[in-house]
Structure 1
């Protein structure tokens, strides 16, 4: 018998202010406190997060773990290993779940208890054009992969599954040391085991990811690096080359913001989406060249689109 129904796992690294906002949002959840625990995994921050979480111990069933820096995949696995809940719920330190977050998740699990359930992420910085462009990209990917057919991709800042099933699959692949591609690989492996996925748009978190041009470029460059690793893993698993998206996928991506925004903003967002794909391609081939110096890689024809948040 599990001690809790939900275990919320949050990796964090050198972002005490973000973590404070995240934990504050968790104190405002409209859900019974005795059914939820929160496991924070400090991924080797320069300063311990103990003082950051101390004010929340009276209102949350809170556990703090600390590890040497190894990336969010390893941190999430560490949190999941200590979790006592029947279901694992993953979010990030720069996210603030809506008050009805767990209610929406539980409602979905009542109909599909064995599903990997993904929720909807909302950009909390609408005045930041770079943050908005990154969210538009995720919105497009969710529309493309999840809305019109069986879901196949959820970002790890807002998804959940049965703890037993997560452990049976071996958790996240820790070869993904960046916040890039590990969630896509996990979703793909989940589907490879013929397990269901379900989209719950009412399960919402607000994503506060401050981006500048430099940080936007680096984010999508790293997504390209993660995409190359994902394709390598998938090619080995399927013993062959991986199918890439058709050209219309990219055209639809670039035009996606235009009908939804004023013309000037829509064009600016389309330009940033094009820039994101250039960064993605360069990151993809940079990672391939790095790995080529260590071993002969599997042949891959072209890079995939970026599709992870951090």
Structure 2
């Protein structure tokens, strides 16, 4: 197998333990050490990450970049601007890529180099009901947007913690939009790529395990911010001369709330379904808040 050179880009903010776990996983990739680099972008963390980086410097080709706190989108763009790789692979500091992660991306990109390639995200915190519910929502969205193209694996949405793209295409797209929130920047990039005719291919074999600790307040805030991000996403589409994304039909929501039961969560299904309902309330509240804030400006 040919091994193209990858630049793995990871934005981070004040999560040294999670970042260390991510780097540990990257040190165990089934991929030649001299065929990938790791670019960490510190998004204005209040603590130094130098010690964490130094612990893994002997095992990984790591570059640490720093910027004032501007959000993960701008951090990813900064990382990409320093990248040497033919291809870019994006993940987050609270993610643990599987050993075959980069190998799976490489195999697909060698066949379809002009496509965006997304992998599967698996919840690593099955005991955390909020993390479970949040990941189940992503699973549902991946299934929903991919259901018409099961043979080609063509889809229309990847999250920013598990996808790969050629550096040339990423630069031609202009990178991620300047979203300060960790919300909708991935959706907007995918939408822009599709508009320009690029295909998106989903390969579930490219696994990352997501260890995002959430409590009830954090769960609400996450989905509230997704709602705020949706307003910026629609504004970005308007700036490109496109219409707003239309609300999904009612079966979308009915199937969403039934999804935990269909996925075999048994006694936890009612609670998860209730949290999925809460996520949609938080999302709508975030949309309302952002519209009101924009109106005041």
Same fold (TM over 0.5): yes
Q: Does 1:72 align with 2:68?
A: no
Change (3 A) 1:262 1:188: closer
Superposed counterparts of 1:283-294, under 5 Å: 283-294=286-297
Counterpart mapping for 1:271-282 below 5 A:
271-282=274-285
**Which stretch of structure 1 is more off in the superposition, 281-290 or 47-56?**
47-56
Q: Which residue matches 1:118?
A: 118
From 218, 222, 225, the equivalent of 1:222 is 225
- Say if 1:26 and 1:262 are closer, same or farther in 2 by CA, change over 3 A: closer
- Alpha carbons 1:43, 1:69 under 8 Å: kept: yes
SS at match of 2:288: helix
The alignment partner of 1:37 has SS state of strand
Structure 1 match to 2:155: 151
Count of residues in Structure 1 that have an aligned counterpart in Structure 2: 291
Separation in structure 1 between the aligned mates of residue 216 and residue 205 of structure 2, nearest angstrom:
31
Secondary structure at 1:238 match in 2: coil
Which of 165-174 and 229-238 deviates more?
229-238
Mean CA deviation greater in 239-248 or 264-273? 239-248
- How far did residue 244 of structure 1 move? 2.3
CA spacing shift, 1:186–1:239, aligned 2, 3 Å: closer
Which residue, 203, 207, 211 being the options, matches 1:208?
211
Q: Deviations along 1:168-190, whole A, 9 cap, x unmatched? A: 1110001x101101000000000
- SS at 2:122's partner residue? strand
Spell out, residue by residue over 1:222-270, the C-alpha distance to the aligned partner (whole angstroms, 9 max, x if none).
Answer: 0100011111211332343432211111111111111222432111110
Q: Over residues 104-147 of structure 1, what are the superposed CA-to-partner deviations in whole Å (9 max), with x where a residue is unaligned?
A: 11111122111100000000000111000001000000001124
Q: Secondary structure at the match of 1:121?
A: strand
Match of 1:233 in 2: 236
Q: In the aligned structure 1, how far is the partner of 2:278 from the partner of 2:284?
A: 10
| Gaps in structure 1 of 5+ consecutive residues | 295-310
TM-score, normalised to structure 2's length? 0.95
Contact 1:235 1:242 in 2 (8 A): no
More displaced 10-residue stretch of structure 1: 8-17 or 244-253: 244-253
Partner Cα distance (1:43, 1:145) in 2: 31
Task: Flag structure 2 segments of 5+ consecutive residues without an equivalent.
Answer: none
The answer as to whether partners of 1:42 and 1:75 remain within 8 angstroms in 2 is: yes
Match of 1:307 in 2: none
Cross-structure match for 2:129: 129
Q: 1:244 aligns with which of 244, 247, 254?
A: 247
1:141 is aligned to 141
Partner of 2:38: 38
Shift, 1:103, TM fit: 1.1
Report whether the alignment pairs 1:22 with 2:25: no
Task: Select between 108-117 and 236-245 the one with higher mean Cα deviation.
Answer: 236-245
Corresponding residue to 1:171 among 164, 172, 175:
175
